[in-house]
Chain A
Amino acid sequence: MEHSIILRMNNIVKDFNGVKALDGVSLEVTRGQVHGICGENGAGKSTLMKVLSGVYPAGSFDGSIEFEDHEVAYKTINDSEHDGIVIIHQELALSPYLSIAENIFLGNENATRGVIDWNKTNREAALLLARVGLDENPATKILELGVGKQQLVEIAKALSKRVKLLILDEPTAALNDEDSTHLLGLIDHLRTQGITCIIISHKLKEIKRIADTVTVIRDGKTIETIDMAGPDATEAHIIRAMVGRDLNNLFPPREPAVGAEVLRVENWTVHHPVDVARKVVDGASFTVNAGEIVGFAGLMGAGRTELAMSIFGRSYGTNISGQVFKDGTEIQMRTVGEAIEHGFAYATEDRKRYGLNLIGDITVNVSAAALAKLAKYGVIDKHREYKVADSYRQKMNIKAPSVTSITGKLSGGNQQKVVLSKWIFSGPDVLILDEPTRGIDVGAKYEIYGIINELAAQGKAVIVISSELPELIGICDRIYAISEGKLTGEVAKADASQETLMHYMTAGKD
C-alpha cells in the first residue's frame, strides 16, 4: 500500500484529424504522492488529463489506463469521478450566483427524493471549508470571492466527492503569491491525508517545492520522469527536458537605447465603476520613454490592470481624472478607438475574454485592431489582410498550419502571439502588455521576451505589467510598484530585487 502505483497510463496516443497531440505518453503515479507534470504549451499535458478523466471517451484514443490496478475505460467525466478522479481545470467551473455550499454539492446534492436537506448541506460544506482552510460562510455567493478562494471551493468540491486522485491544471496561474502559498500548503496537507495529486504547472519553483516526482512531456511524448529527491531535481534540468535545449539565460540579452519621453501620465485617478466612492487608482504619475521597457509590479487587486485600462480609452472605471501627455502634448482618449488613433495598444491579461475572437481564424484576429489600414472606403482588401497575417505568423513563429486556423484551437503561447501580432500591426508608439506571459511555458516566454525587446529596439515605449517579479526584473529598465491604487515606488533595473519591489508593493498595507 505504502508505495503502490495508483495510476498507470500506458502508451497513450490521441490524434486530432491526423495531428498527434499525444504520441505514446506513459505515466505512473505513486499513491499518496504529489506528481508534477511539466511541458511546454501544446506538449499535450491538458490533453493527457482529458484522456484520463473521460473528457475524451475511451475508444477515441489508443493505449490503456489502469487505476487502482484495474483497467478502466471512462466514457464520461462522471465515470472517472465515480472512481475518485477529480480534475480542476485552469478555468474554474463554478456558478457565480450560487452559494459556496450549493456549488460544492452541485450535481451531488444532499437530497431525499429530490428535496435538498439544507442543514446537512451547509454543515458538510462548513466542514469541507475548514479542511481546505477557507474561512467563509457556506452561504456566500461565489461571485463575492476572489480567484484564490474560488480555487479552494473547487478543492472542497473535489473532497466532497471522496477524491482519491486530484488533478490540478495550472492551479496558481491566476493567483497572487499569498494565495499560491496557501494553495501549495493545502496540497501538502492533503498529501498527509493520503490524497494523491497530479499538478500541472509552468511555475517550476512551485513544482520543485511541492512535487515528489515530475514527469516531463514534450511533443506528445514522455521525455523523463524525475525523482525530486534525487540529484536531477533542478530547475535547469527540468527546463532542459521541457524545451530540449539549454536555457542558460531565461531572458534574451538586450542593449537598452532609451530616448525621449513618449508618455507622461499625471495625477491619474480612477474610481470603481460600481462602488463609485472607491478610488481604484489614486493620483498615479509616471513616464515612459522611447525604447524603454517599464514594468508595473503590484499584487492582485492593486490597480495595475485598472490603471492601464482606464488610460486605454477609459475602458475601465468612472470619474477618471488626470492628464495624459504624449510626446509632450496633452491628449484625450475617451474611447478605445481614440486610444488606438493616438498610437496606444493594450494587450490584455485575459486574452480569452478580452483579447481574441476565439471562433475566428488568425487572420481576423491579427487585423482586428487596425482594419482601417487594410480597407478603402470601408472595403477590406482581403488578399492584403491574408498576406499581413501570414507575415506575422512567420515572424512571430505562431505554430499553426495556416492563418485560417481557428485561434480557439491554438495553445496559450500561440494565442498570445496572435494578440501581440494584432497590436504590433496596429502600429503603436506605446504598448501596454498586461501579463504577457501568463499561462505560457518557458520556451514561448523566451520568444515573447524577444518580441518585447524588439519592440523597444524599434523605439516604442513599452509597459509590462506582471505578477512575476523575476520577469519584471529580467526584462524591464525601470519598475514602478503599485499598492492599493497608489504608485509606491520607482526602481531602476540596477537596484531592483524581489525584496525591494515586494517592500513597495505591500506599502501601506497593514
Chain B
Amino acid sequence: MTTTTPASKAPTEPPVKRRMPKLSINLRQYGIVAALAVIVILFQILTDGRLLLPGNVNNLIQQNAYVLILAIGMVIVIIAGHIDLSVGSVVAMVGAVAAISMNNWGLPWWGAVLVSLLVGALVGAWQGYWVAFVGIPAFIVTLAGMLIFRGLTLVLLTGGTISGLPAEFTAIGAGWLPSYLGELAGRDVLTLALGILTAVALIVFQLRTRATLARLDLPREPLASMWTKNGIAAIAIVWFAWLLSDYSGTPIILIVLAALILIYNFVLNRTVFGRHVYAMGGNLFAAVMSGVKTKWVNFYIFVNMGVLAGLAGVVSTARAGGAVASAGQNYELDAIAAVFIGGAAVQGGVGTVVGAVVGGLVMGVLNMGLSILSVDAAWQMTIKGLVLLLAVAFDIFNKRRAGGR
C-alpha cells in the first residue's frame, strides 16, 4: 500500500452492496484464522520466541494430528446435527487391534493400517445403524460406544500394553519424508520445494477460480482482498516449510493431513453428499421432503467418522510407539472443541473443514505454548475450557451484532 492520499480515494470507490452477504459470511472464517494468528504471536512473545522453534512447529503437527483428523470427521457429524462421543475409545481400540495385528498375527505395517481402517468402518457402521435406522439419538449411541469400545480395548490388551511396533508403522505418526532432494545449508530441500509448490498452487488455483467466475459473470471477491488474503497465506506456508526444513523435514502425517483437508473440503463444498449433510443440519424435515435419503446419509456420516477415528488410532498409536488401554482419553472432547471453536453451530447446519482444522490448531498451539511456559496441567485444562467457552461466546456475540431479523 502507498502512502499517497489515502483519504481522497476512499469515497470514490463504488459501493459493493451486492456482495455484502458473501463477505460477511467469510468474515467469520477470517475471525478464527485471525484468532489463531493472535494466539501464535501472543505465545511467541510470552515464550521468548521458543514457540516457533523448528522442533516445536514439527511437534505441533505430529502431536495434534489425531485431533485434526478427528475434527474433520466430527465437523461433518456436527453439521448434520449429531455428536460422536465415542471417538476416543475407538482410537484406543483400533490402536490395540493394529498392535495385535502386527505383533501377534504378523501382518505387515500396511496390513495393520488396512485392518485399522476396516475396524473403524465397522464401528462406524454399528453406530450409524443405531442412529440412522433405529433412530436412537447419536448422543446416546456414542455414549454407549464410548463405554463399549473402551471396554473392548481393555479386553484386547488385557490391561497391559503392546510395544515394539515396526519402524515403518511408527513412522506414520513420528517419521518424516526422506531427504530425496538432499540438503542445502542444513535445510531439507524437499520440504522447501513442497512449501513453495503449495504456495504457488494455492495462488494459481485462486486465480483460475477467479477467471472461471469472471467468464461466467458471477460475483467475485475484490481483487485487493483476494491478493492480501492469499498473499498472507502463501507467505505463511513458505515460512512454515522454512521452519520444518530446519528440523527433520516434512512429517509424513502432514502429507496425510493435507490430503484429508483437501478431500473433505471438496466433499463438503462440492459434492451432493456434502450438500445433503448441510441440508439435513439446516432443516431435517425439508431435506426429507426434498428427497434426500437422510437415513443413508446419516449412516455414511458415521461410517466415515469411524474410518477417520480408525486413522487417528493408527496415527496416535504410531506416534506413541505402542498400544495402551488408556490411549485416546478425552480425544472426543478435543475434537468437539476444535469443531466448535472453528465456528460450527450446535444446532447443526453450519461448519467447515478448514474452520475445524484451524480450531484444532488453536487448541494445539495453546497446549504447546502453555507447556513451554511450564504451566501446570490442571491450569492448562482450565484455560482450554475457558478458550472454548469464549470462542463460542464471541461467535454468538458476533452473530447477534450482525442482527438477524
Residues of A within 8 A of B (CB): 16-18, 21, 47, 313, 315, 335-337, 339-340, 346, 348, 353-361, 364, 367-369, 371-372, 375, 378-380, 382-383, 386-387, 401-402, 404-406, 408-409, 422
B286 interface hit (Cβ, 8 Å): yes
B6 interface hit (Cβ, 8 Å): no
Is B21 touching A360 in the complex (CB atoms < 8 A)?
no
Known: A315-B288, A336-B288, A359-B350; 17 extra A-B contacts, CB below 8 A, are A16-B405, A18-B17, A21-B405, A336-B290, A353-B283, A353-B285, A356-B283, A359-B282, A364-B279, A368-B287, A378-B271, A378-B272, A379-B270, A379-B271, A380-B270, A380-B272, A382-B269
- Chain B nearest CB from A371 CB (Å) reads 5
- Chain A nearest CB from B1 CB (Å) reads 27
In the bound complex, CA of A382 to CA of B290 (Å): 19
CB neighbours (8 Å) of A337 from chain B are 291-293
Is A357 touching B282 in the complex (CB atoms < 8 A)?
yes
A-B contact pairs, 6 of them (CB 8 A): A336-B289, A353-B286, A357-B283, A364-B275, A364-B282, A404-B219
In the bound complex, CA of A441 to CA of B334 (Å): 50
Is A404 touching B21 in the complex (CB atoms < 8 A)?
yes
Secondary structure call for the B interface: helix
* Partner of B403 from A17, A353, A387, A405 at Cβ < 8 Å: A17
CB neighbours (8 Å) of A340 from chain B are 291
In the bound complex, CA of A309 to CA of B273 (Å): 25
* Partner of A387 from B216, B278, B287 at Cβ < 8 Å: B216
Is B290 touching A369 in the complex (CB atoms < 8 A)?
yes
B404 interface hit (Cβ, 8 Å): yes
- Chain A nearest CB from B267 CB (Å) reads 9
* Partner of A358 from B213, B276, B282, B292 at Cβ < 8 Å: B282
Secondary structure call for the A interface: mixed
B328 interface hit (Cβ, 8 Å): no
CB neighbours (8 Å) of A359 from chain B are 282-283, 345, 349-350
CB neighbours (8 Å) of B213 from chain A are 383
Q: In B230-280, which residues have CB < 8 Å from any A CB?
A: 269-273, 275-276, 278-279
In the bound complex, CA of A378 to CA of B266 (Å): 11
Is A401 touching B273 in the complex (CB atoms < 8 A)?
no
- Chain A nearest CB from B40 CB (Å) reads 31
* Partner of B289 from A47, A355, A402, A408 at Cβ < 8 Å: A355
B386 interface hit (Cβ, 8 Å): no
B229 interface hit (Cβ, 8 Å): no
Is A401 touching B289 in the complex (CB atoms < 8 A)?
no
In the bound complex, CA of A380 to CA of B405 (Å): 31
Assuming A357-B283, A357-B349, A378-B272, is B289 touching A16 (CB within 8 A)?
no
CB neighbours (8 Å) of A409 from chain B are 404-405
CB neighbours (8 Å) of B269 from chain A are 382
B9 interface hit (Cβ, 8 Å): no
Top 9 A-B pairs ranked by shortest CB distance?
A357-B282, A337-B291, A368-B290, A369-B290, A336-B291, A340-B291, A357-B283, A354-B285, A354-B289
B20 interface hit (Cβ, 8 Å): yes
* Partner of A401 from B18, B278, B293 at Cβ < 8 Å: B18
In the bound complex, CA of A107 to CA of B224 (Å): 53
B208 interface hit (Cβ, 8 Å): no
Closest to B219 in A: A402
CB neighbours (8 Å) of A387 from chain B are 216, 218
- Chain B nearest CB from A289 CB (Å) reads 25
B212 interface hit (Cβ, 8 Å): yes
